[in-house]
Amino acid sequence: MKKILVTGSLGQIGSELVMKMRDSYGADNVIATDIRKSESDVVHSGPFEILDVTDEKAMFEIAKRHQVDTVVHLAALLSATAEARPLLAWNLNMGGLINALEVARELRCQFFTPSSIGAFGPATPKDRTPQETIQRPTTMYGVNKVSGELLCDYYYHKFGVDTRGLRFPGLISCITPPGGGTTDYAVEIYYEAIKQGEYTSYIAKGTYMDMMYMPDALNAIIALMEADASKLKHRNAFNVTAMSLEPEQLASEIRKHIPNFKMHYNVDPARQAIAESWPNSIDATAAIEEWGFKAEYNLEKMTQEMLVKLGQNLSLTGAK
């Protein structure tokens, strides 16, 4: 990874990954792109280009002009939005992915794109879901993710593109909120705990899903991309996780810091159905064995840091 093109760079992952990669690889060597501009540091701290990922010509032109050797393709709709707008999700998630893969093929780039726990479905074993198992998701997002995993493997076998991917769980972060995901509740709860001292969860008590704190997700992307190719038996995509949580566990951890925090429930049937079709917990053994995946943050450590950092961010923006 010497010169890296990032799509969807203003999103939840991109906004932090770009800054971390600029620190490690040099500000000028990370070309951030997104469909819109914002006041984010991503736009001002290095090269930034407007890019609609459904426009392959434009993507190719930017990648070629900057002579990139790596494509990190993050632009996509998350699960709940994809379920509400399935055709848009297919066109954006799959259209964007095939364009990014074509650019990587033509310019001989290394390639990363995230998959998700959404690539599993109701027929998948729910607990400690293995790396290789039944993948028959019932959501459009899941259909996109499984197709994406297959397509990335295809580009590796057929064209020799060095494609690598991770099946991310819900990602929890304090910089850019996610949008339109099923696991977003696990981020919202921290914002509302600080702002209101209470939170109404749209996911029901007792619904377990895997989660990970963003610094671990960023380290995992970089570790996988830097991993010795000869050690990889799998490619698209590795199970990774840091914790399996249900809403009450988050609430009681937050109460250790905000004793009066109150939790309410108003379950959203659409997102609850998606959550119930996903695993309770996934098994990351292949990632641990093949390239040394390790998560540093558990619920306790993450909660401590989230509340401090988010508290600072919110008081800076006057939202507290």
Is 244 a residue that touches ligand SER (CB under 6 A)? no
Is 11 a residue that touches ligand SER (CB under 6 A)? no
180-219 residues in contact with ligand SER (CB under 6 A) are 181-183
Closest approach of Cβ 148 to ligand SER, in Å? 12
Stretch that binds ligand SER, among 65-73, 114-122, 129-137, 235-243 (CB under 6 A): 114-122
Is 170 a residue that touches ligand SER (CB under 6 A)? yes
Q: Which is nearer to ligand SER, 46 or 148 (CB)?
A: 148
- Active site annotation includes 141: yes
Closest approach of Cβ 196 to ligand SER, in Å? 23
39-78 residues in contact with ligand SER (CB under 6 A) are 78
Q: Which is nearer to ligand SER, 103 or 143 (CB)?
A: 143
Edge-to-edge, what's the strand order for the sheet holding 170-172? Answer: 170-172, 209-213, 243-245
- Given 25, 141, 156, 202, the catalytic residue: 141
Closest approach of Cβ 23 to ligand SER, in Å? 25
Is 121 a residue that touches ligand SER (CB under 6 A)? no
Closest approach of Cβ 234 to ligand SER, in Å? 18
* Contact set with ligand SER (CB under 6 A): 78-79, 116-118, 141, 168, 170, 181-183
What are the catalytic residues?
141
